[in-house]
Amino acid sequence: MELESEREIVCMSARMSPSLTVSRIAAQQGSVLRELRTASLREAPYAFGETLEDALLVEPKCFDETAALHSSSPRLATFLLYTEGHSCGLVHAYIEETPAARAFVSALWVAPAVRHLRGGELLVNVASQWLAAQGAAEVHAWISEENRTAMRFYERLGFGPTGDRRAMPSHEQEAEALFVLHMDAEYPA
């Protein structure tokens, strides 16, 4: 199933700003991916599995390769949030390459200036719908236990804690908790 040709999803819901759009990343948008990723790490370094320093060391070519892969892969996707044509957020969606093949959303970030427009909700919903279209019955998210705002956000979207915990990859002294959303009639495949 393709979501509005899987390129452009426009939210006209009364609950969210009609100026928000979400698009799957295009192959040539490596620089946009790098810009959003580094902005997210500058603004919320505690929330992600890598550091700003690590991201700044990555060659631009690697972001180009990631954008190209995430633009067309059936297992990996990045969705970008726009307001009035300007990129202002992102989320990754992927299916693990393990026998369990669990589906995940990760690296969700929305620029502080537009968070009140509920773009994070739109990004997670679009990514979850894409994962459901790939056959996922559940969508998972690892969330820093220090980030109570993120935990409440995911809970409002229907995610709940699984009880699984692990050390954060970039901050081993901090833990993250696994949350899960059971896909149902709210997210038709």
Going from N- to C-terminal start, the domains of the chain cover 21-182
Q: Is 87 left (phi over 0), alpha (psi -120 to 50) or beta?
A: beta
User: What is the reported pLDDT for 70?
Assistant: 98
Task: Give the architecture (CATH level 2) of 21-182.
Answer: 3-Layer(aba) Sandwich (3.40)
Contact 151, 141 (CB under 8 A): no
Q: How confident is the model at residue 186 (pLDDT cuts 50, 70, 90)?
A: low
Q: Report CA-CA distances (Å) from 34 to 38, 42, 56, 120, 141.
A: 6, 12, 9, 19, 22
Of the chain, the percentage scoring pLDDT greater than 70 comes to 88
pLDDT digits (tens, 9 = 90+) for 70-103: 999 999 999 999 999 999 999 999 999 999 999 9
User: What is the reported pLDDT for 121?
Assistant: 96
Q: Is 5 left (phi over 0), alpha (psi -120 to 50) or beta?
A: left
At 11, the amino acid letter reads C
Strand segments, DSSP code E, in 25-102 are 76-83, 86-95
Q: Whole-prediction pTM value? A: 0.87
For residue 185, pLDDT beyond 60: no
Contact 29, 67 (CB under 8 A): yes
| Count of positions (residues) in the chain | 189
Structure tokens at 2: 């393709």
Q: Is 3 left (phi over 0), alpha (psi -120 to 50) or beta?
A: beta
